[in-house]
Amino acid sequence: MCIGIPMQVVEADGRFALCEGRGERRRINTALVGDVAPGDWLLVFLDDAREAIDADRAAEVNAALDLVLGAMQGLEAQEDAGFALPSQMSPEQMRALTGA
């Protein structure tokens, strides 16, 4: 399984960018997302940027990753996830989510 990590561009250099996110600093290939600038947010999979995202989306993904990490460590969630689990969605919401 591959999980996307939100990372913020620190320096851009052609097809690569130095990015920071979740306590790491890495050189990321940006060929799939085009030009980036310092301050931009990217969704990174295996050192490749797959999507340019905004700061709000980066915060949402980071919050979800924090919940997953907590669950893996055996912690009980202390906050609302900020999104509805599919098991809690109405049929209309599920159709909108899946595009059906």
Among residues 8, 11, 44, the alpha carbon closest in space to that of 29 is found at 44
* pLDDT, tens digit (0-9, with 9 covering 90-100), for 31-71: 999 999 999 999 999 999 999 999 999 998 888 888 888 77
Residue 79 has pLDDT above 70, yes or no: no
* H-only helix segments in the chain: 55-72, 91-98
Segment 20-27 mean pLDDT? 96
Other Cβ atoms within 10 Å of 49 Cβ, number: 27
Question: What's the confidence (pLDDT) of residue 92?
Answer: 87
Contacts of 52 (CB under 8 A, 6+ apart): 33, 34, 36, 40, 41, 42, 43
Number of domains in the chain: 1
> Which domain CATH number covers 17?
2.30.30.140
Give the domain range for residue 52: 1-100
